[in-house]
Structure 1
Amino acid sequence: MEPFEPEDFWRAIILYGLNTATYKIALAQCLISYGEGHQTDIPLDVLARDFFVLYRKRLEADRPQLVLPDRLTVMERIVRLERLGKINEDQAIERVAREAFGDVLPRFHTVSDKALPMSFYHFDGRTLHLTDELFDLFGNGPKREHLKDETGSRWDLLEAAFSLRRERWSLTNDIRQFYLEKGYARTDITHTRPVLNGYQHGRCFYCGDVMDNDEVHVDHVIPRQLVQHDELWNLVLAHRFCNLQKNDALPDAVYIEKLIARNEHFIASNHPIKQTLIRELGASPEARRKAVLRVYHDAELVIGVTWQGIRGYRPDTDPLLHKFNQLWKTIPHSSR
């Protein structure tokens, strides 16, 4: 089996870790800044100050940081007290150090209750000792900016998903309307593309090759004219060229099998919309597979298979499909 790289484990944490709050993403952003600064040892009080400043700025937008409605995270409560003048900044930072890290620091490297075999820091109760793997990614790593974008976008999507869940909005169609009605229009929604791209590891769904940022299209695998929705399970990223080649055609079954694998890869994520996807497609991989195939076979009856795919494409040599299968086998998931 191809060995995993530090970026694979970082993505596992960011894209597949359990996120009922945004603490893990905030800690990840602190780690990125330390890695860029080549800092090796971070005292707890320094981390607490950086964590507090990061959240104070983030909460200016008044977006939820916790999946549970009518509840606030410890960080939201501390920032609110400081804003109201009930505690000063130094007192706020002391409370962060004392109250905010009890769960996130020991569990940052845990995905689906499994400790990953690579760590980006070790914590001795007083100091974070950063590892070479962190510096490999964010010191001068070639994928530093890309991974930073993914991490920042994950926080954006968590906040949006928490809000959607609280207000009982449905999936993709309503996300667009939600951004407009709730003032999110100021945020470029294409900024969320790095997270979706993270699930495809920067590769085109149809040909498997690396995509450049200026040539990425979002495509309905089963044409929208047939499904009449924009649900996430049927959306992929593709090269502009590959998307235009496919156009509104129904692709060969090999791409539907890849879509099913991609969906299992996506459902492995503990993003708050995970349960929406499970509710729409089914509670088990078998049920979800049947749901996708049912839509595909119905489409076949209407228009037939009209696109055989990119010339030369072979599933057995597709690095994206290989990556889906690798991560799926390695990380245990409660939804399997």
Structure 2
Amino acid sequence: MNYETLNHGTAVPLLNPSYEPVSERVYEWAKRKGLFIDENEFRCCRSQKLNKFAARLFPKASKVELEQIMRLFLILFCLDDRADQLKGNIRVQFWKELLHQYSAIKKNIAYTGTSAIIEVFQEVHWGWFRQCAADKELGVRLINYVRKFLKAGLWEAKNLATNTSPTVIEYFSHLKHCSGAGIAIELLAYLNIYPFGRLVHHPHLAPLYQTIVNLICLSNDLSSYVKEAAAGDFHNLILLKEQQYRISREQSIERVKQHLAFHQKIFLNQVQLVREIPNVSPSEMELLVKAINELLKGMELWAREDTGRYK
């Protein structure tokens, strides 16, 4: 999809100019905090260009903002990858322990010898992210989005442990939390360059956000079904449709592509509609639309050109 159409032809920045030095700092921090199990895991993260994800999605973030966001996404990627290496109840317990830690930090229970994971959880609850949310009156949505990401990981782990495939409807209801797409959209409001603040929470924008999540998740499933099928992971719309509708893989792929094309048309229509929301500053709404454009284009570029994560 050509997201430049949202900006009336305006060029979209391709990469945050602070990417390389900030990425090196984040990797140094992660190694110092013992994030990586071994050198192989570290090399895998680098080869998949995980830190480039944040730099693609938030090309206008300051160095401080980019570093905090990059740390958060690096942790989420690593947790997801680590869970993929676990089986049965061990995988279930992995996510349960993370949720326990996350809830404990919410209650301000201190951890000694803070790991990279715990440090990021603390930043979300009580540190940089919480301060930004307070300054911009954003509430605790980010905290809740991260919790839902962890709970979605637990939901997948339980399904795999019992070999219970979700229905297509159940899968779609959890998909938005598994992908972290909601986290990315929420973080747009945390950047100081944008003045729109709480406008991101305007109720009239909810349908647009849901369509964005659908676009991201459908695109991800089209990119990753081969990898997930090989791993025996049925959490992919193509695999679920093939299994539950008793159709061929090729038919399932085609149906998901049609579903994606349908949501792309809805998306373009919704973008025009949000520009007409009453009692909202047109200039602020236009900035939000452009920020969404950058985020989507960045995600597309990262998945297509940077990472080998889905192959």
TM exceeds 0.5? no
- What TM bracket, shorter-length normalisation? 0.3 to 0.5
The two structures have a TM-score, normalised by structure 1, of 0.38
Structure number with greater Rg is 1
Whose relative contact order is higher, 1 or 2, with alpha carbons under 8 Å and at least 6 apart?
2
Instruction: Determine which structure has the larger strand proportion and give its number.
Output: 1
